[in-house]
Structure 1
């Protein structure tokens, strides 16, 4: 049963039950954009969509990117987003936040969402999947395991390789797997300096110039629930990171995604223990060079867009960058996503 969502008018959500796990009850939450009820919907948004998009968030995150929803709806999409199990709207007090032992376990979340979507839109409408960061890795692996299910795949700064180098992953994996077998929920001492959180919460530093007082990125920051997107981050556990490394290994061997794939990233990474204003135009979470090297391993038709001035979630960058990112998505959707015959 669809209910009004926490995002306000124009957004609805439904809780979908899943099989219990060792912690108890498990659910996933599907959010949808309803342009007819959205006072901020973009002008000339079609009333009859020509494709469906299902979006998945990254680590320590949930769906709140309302501008993305409005842009996709304006482009002719029926927009849906998942709060995966143990994240955001789907988190429950008895659960370990964000924890999962295998990325393929998310198939149950995705299939529950698709069952609901197909009930509404039928099976003939083209389906596009969208994933950000860890959600991008999850989406890519799902697309590889389900050839023919998607008409297109959009990846926003997908986490396709471990930080540092492939060799670091190869050396770390056996140690982490051993720890995960003994104590899968052991917390790993991987500190977060909070710089990415700082990027999302506005330009509050004394002396910095506010370039556009209508842009949340350069003023107040983006609005999100800080119980669902934690600061500095949700603890990283051995079992979860082992699942991520196993996903990276599959990408490194090469996937065979059958549908066209669009990858968008920043044009630079800045890793530093010291804050700098230049971080407001860079990925401070993932190494974009590593993402670029893995793009040809994804599938048969891939496109890479490097966005100057973008942050880790390119759709939450400054206004000019978002405009370009959304423009690239729209052009790609027009070119590749056609009604099924």
Structure 2
């Protein structure tokens, strides 16, 4: 592994990926990148973080939190995201979320087979949460995963009934005949303006990889999102324990920034997360975080500390249970 852009204590390795069918992905050479921040003693195994849409891994405070608790921390930048975005590629674009299982599988092989970890917890945010759910369902017989933590997962479209139904049918057709057609130019919420320190936030990140206005949403990508959400709504069989964290409330349909945007999910409807949680599998715990933003880990200090503490307590309970079983 080589030194990562995050600096001292962070390593990265390139994961070569197979070619996708013409028009099904971002184009060019597809690679992923796996970042690692090591614990002094990885007594609790490994955590693998999966980012959301218009996103990549930069949250050093999260890596350092879990490393301090005895987890080797990993994060994957999926193909055409962040470190993995190649010149000339369509950012963040695939026509099938299942293509991302290749990145998940490759990361898990490195963590388990090459680095020797016996326990793996996957942690997915937003779109990364949906990808992690679907991957965990598809790999449910492979014993590759021990626990799943979801940070505001994208389990439904944050729109009215008409757009969730008729709009979805239209996107399904457009995504089939013209997958790269742009259906939304970027992020239509004040969320991006709530993050970067040059705006109203406290975070420093590469705005070429994570523009505050977001990347264009393309029909083929939204089509596979909606199809996977529909599969989730019919019920999945994720067999490992799942912790779903969400904000206490949403603030939707506002494009202008306000202080209230720093205390709510301005991207997704948290009621959807509560509604569909039970469809993930038989062992799902849902926790609402008062005053949380869409990415709970980027919320104000007290809020993100609460979210991390709830994860710590939940994981500690799993470890204790496993020790009793053993």
SS at 1:279 equivalent: helix
Determine the structure 1 residue equivalent to 2:3.
Answer: 4
Give 1:226-241 correspondences, 5 Å limit: 226-241=207-222
Task: Indicate if the aligned counterparts of 1:55 and 1:82 stay in contact, CA closer than 8 A.
Answer: yes
Q: Does 1:131 align with 2:124?
A: yes
1:53 CA drift (Å): 1.0
Give 1:84-99 correspondences, 5 Å limit: 84-99=78-93
Determine the structure 1 residue equivalent to 2:16.
Answer: 17
Q: 2:151 aligns with which of 151, 156, 160?
A: 156
SS at 1:131 equivalent: strand
Task: Indicate if the aligned counterparts of 1:88 and 1:228 stay in contact, CA closer than 8 A.
Answer: yes
Give the aligned CA root-mean-square deviation in angstroms: 1.8
Determine the C-alpha separation between the residues in 1 that align with 2:112 and 2:255: 47
1:120 CA drift (Å): 3.3
1:176 CA drift (Å): 1.3
Q: 1:81 aligns with which of 75, 85, 89?
A: 75
**Residue 252 and residue 167 in structure 1: after superposition, are their counterparts in 2 closer, same or farther (change >3 A)?**
farther
Determine the C-alpha separation between the residues in 1 that align with 2:196 and 2:67: 26
Question: What is the aligned length?
Answer: 315
Task: Indicate if the aligned counterparts of 1:194 and 1:231 stay in contact, CA closer than 8 A.
Answer: no
Determine the structure 1 residue equivalent to 2:237.
Answer: 256
Task: Indicate if the aligned counterparts of 2:121 and 2:147 stay in contact, CA closer than 8 A.
Answer: yes
Q: Does 1:180 align with 2:162?
A: no
Determine the structure 2 residue equivalent to 1:33.
Answer: 37
Runs of 4+ that moved beyond 6 A: none
Q: 1:329 aligns with which of 298, 311, 317?
A: 311
Task: Indicate if the aligned counterparts of 1:49 and 1:73 stay in contact, CA closer than 8 A.
Answer: no
**Which structure carries more relative contact order (alpha carbon 8 Å, separation 6+)?**
1
State TM-score, norm by structure 2. 0.91
1:82 CA drift (Å): 0.2
Q: Does 1:115 align with 2:109?
A: yes
1:50 CA drift (Å): 2.1
1:309 CA drift (Å): 1.1
Q: Does 1:292 align with 2:287?
A: no
**What do the CA deviations read for 1:56-114 (whole angstroms, capped 9, x no partner)?**
00000000011111111122211100000000000001211000111111111111111
State TM-score, norm by structure 1. 0.88
Task: Indicate if the aligned counterparts of 2:196 and 2:205 stay in contact, CA closer than 8 A.
Answer: no
Q: Does 1:146 align with 2:139?
A: yes
Determine the C-alpha separation between the residues in 2 that align with 1:75 and 1:16: 27
Q: Does 1:224 align with 2:228?
A: no
Task: Indicate if the aligned counterparts of 1:85 and 1:98 stay in contact, CA closer than 8 A.
Answer: yes
**What do the CA deviations read for 1:236-276 (whole angstroms, capped 9, x no partner)?**
00000001001110111011110110011110111223332
**What do the CA deviations read for 1:25-47 (whole angstroms, capped 9, x no partner)?**
11000000034xxxxxxxxxx52
For structure 1, which runs of at least 5 residues remain unmatched after alignment? 36-45, 206-216
Determine the structure 2 residue equivalent to 1:42.
Answer: none
1:204 CA drift (Å): 5.6
